[in-house]
Amino acid sequence: MATMARERVQPQKRNLTDMNWDPITRIVGNLGIYTKIDFDNNEVVECRSTSSMFRGYSVFMKGKDPRDSHFITSRICGICGDNHATCSIYAQNMAYGIKPPNLADWIVNLGEAAEFM
């Protein structure tokens, strides 16, 4: 029986920078973003978001057809409906295992960018 010697690899020490934004006041003041970024390798190692206010999306969506989520969620919030629609479409794609073509991602990104104009 052959055995293989395994070389032990030491974990690479990384220079991580914690960057936190809390509260983000343009979002009704209840959104926080917490990140760990490796600027040496241009990599976001960890990113979390929190919200301290109950929005009730899970309550509104209970018992609804998931394919209608982009219509429903975009109307719950009066400030950023397009973002909720986009996020619900992304969630549907992940849930159903759909990978849109690259051009579709470009179109979504252009639409999101237009919101900032």
- Per DSSP, what are the bridge partners of residue 20? 34
pLDDT digits (tens, 9 = 90+) for 1-44: 444 555 565 567 889 999 999 888 776 668 889 999 999 999 99
Query: Is 43 among the domain residues?
Result: yes
Percent of the chain with pLDDT over 70: 88
Domain ranges, residue 109: 55-117
The residue behind tokens 């040496």 is: 40
Number of domains in the chain: 2
Give the residue among 28, 24, 25 at the shortest CA–CA distance from 76: 28
Give the residue among 46, 43, 24 at the shortest CA–CA distance from 34: 46
- Per DSSP, what are the bridge partners of residue 18? 36
Query: Is 31 among the domain residues?
Result: yes
Query: Is 10 among the domain residues?
Result: no
Same-domain check for residues 90 and 47: no
The answer to whether the CB of 69 falls within 8 A of the CB of 81 is no
pTM, to two decimals: 0.58
Q: What is residue 19's three-state secondary structure? A: strand
